[in-house]
Homo-oligomer: A and B are copies of this chain.
């Protein structure tokens, strides 16, 4: 007899899964800036994967890889002394002094390779219980992070 029809196509080629992890949060009316605990940013510009927990103020790494973190803070009423913490260790610190009638903006960014379970947050450092970080309906203070390079599998 004749040969049968052609077989079905093969399966789709290999690829690294599309690993995505990102958040972009602002100080909102429910946010809190207190000493000795993570600053809680509660106004979500983007938090689809919910790897940033607005109830704790911490980003928790689910996908290992290289991340970019950045923050932009309104400096108002008091000096700002803030640290980017990784698992209870401050690894980058930003200081901006306030003077009367001279609201400022302070910002920082860094690339960090994270393992699954690593936690990243912003926190006031030093003995201060309050800081001049400010947010309202016309002054945003923001904290963002994004997975740039997932680890190769």
Contacts and interface: CB of A to CB of B under 8 A. Distances in A.
A129 interface: no
A3 B2 CA distance: 4
Which among A20, A111, A112 has the greatest number of chain B C-beta atoms within 10 A? A111
Contact of A10 (B13, B16, B107): B13
Nearest to A148: B146
A115 interface: no
A126 B126 CA distance: 37
A42 interface: no
Interface stretch (A31-39, A53-61, A95-103, A116-124): A95-103
Interface of A: 1-20, 22-24, 26, 45-46, 48, 66, 68, 70, 72, 74, 81, 91-99, 101-113, 125-126, 137-140, 142, 144, 146, 148-153
